[in-house]
Amino acid sequence: MLGRRKVAMVVAEFLGTGILTAVVLAVSRSTIGIPYFVSLAVGLTIAGVTLFFGGISGAQLNPAITLGLWSVRKVTYKKAAVYVAAQLLGAWAAYALYGYFTNMHWPNTGHFTGRVMVGEAAGTFVFSLAWAAVVFQKFENSKAAAALGSTIILGIMVASMASSGLLNPAVALGVRAWGWGTYVLGPVVGSVIGFNLYNYLFAPAPVEASTVAAATTGKKKK
């Protein structure tokens, strides 16, 4: 039986990803829909959603980030599968709501382009480094919101040299740019590389049991 806490975590991922996708749809299809303004809108959204959902689900809001966390064993495969499903459903719901409000629907435009895939991977790599720092250094919620909100802007600006700068397979689904080789595989590859690189090189080293014992007893490690 699902407890209230577990339901809240799944709903938080659903709502958070839906809000993020709705913002991307609204800004990208407006008269100011250029990468600079989209990145600012996404950064503010990530920061805001992290503040009020970060303590519940972690506010991952992105299948690529969830899979990156799973690759460094910070999320179980069961939780990762549920989160990814909730994120994709949230993005799809945002698209359906946007279509209802605007009476606009359009076909999926996702198709493979090497430059787009590499651009999405590079941008998500930048964002995943911030995510890894938040997780491994255990940032408090407000610090995490600032770090993630600012870094997603940088990631989008990097990716926008070659792509639409989505960095998120769920958002790609919501804005009808779903493409396995570009807006899905690219972000996932970038995230997995970023998390594992940070884990290998930059994460705080675990303290050995013998060192802890020596510190508490006042004895030097031999």
pLDDT in tens, 27-37: 988 877 688 89
Residue 222 has pLDDT above 50, yes or no: no
Confidence of residue 221 (pLDDT cuts 50, 70, 90): very low
Exposure class string for 32-44: b at 16+ Cβ within 10 A, else e: eeebeebbbbbbe
pLDDT band for position 134 (cuts 50, 70, 90) = very high
Please give the mean pLDDT across all residues of the chain.
91
Is pLDDT of 216 > 70?
no
pLDDT score for 217: 58
Token pair 């999405």 in the structure block, residue: 120
Which range, of 1-10, 112-121, 132-141, averages the lowest pLDDT?
1-10
Task: Report the C-alpha gap between 98 and 95 in whole angstroms.
Answer: 5
Section 203-209 average pLDDT: 70
Please give the pLDDT value at position 22.
96
Closest CA to 89 of 176, 182, 13: 13
DSSP-derived secondary structure for 7-71: HHHHHHHHHHHHHHHHHHHHHHTSTT-SHHHHHHHHHHHHHHHHHHHTTTT-----HHHHHHHHH
- The 3 state secondary structure assigned to 196-214 is HHHHHHCCCCCCCHHHHHH
pLDDT tens-digit series, residues 147-161: 999 999 999 999 999
Token pair, residue 198, equals 């940070």
Q: What is the pLDDT of residue 180?
A: 87
C-alpha distances (whole Å) from 114 to each of 40, 66, 118, 137, 152 are: 26, 24, 6, 34, 22
User: Is the CATH code 1.10.10.60 the one for domain 4-204?
Assistant: no
pTM above 0.95, yes or no: no
Q: Which positions ≥6 away from 163 have C-beta within 8 Å? A: 115, 116, 119, 120, 123, 182, 183, 186
Inform me whether the pLDDT recorded for 123 exceeds 70: yes
189 band by pLDDT with thresholds 50, 70 and 90? very high
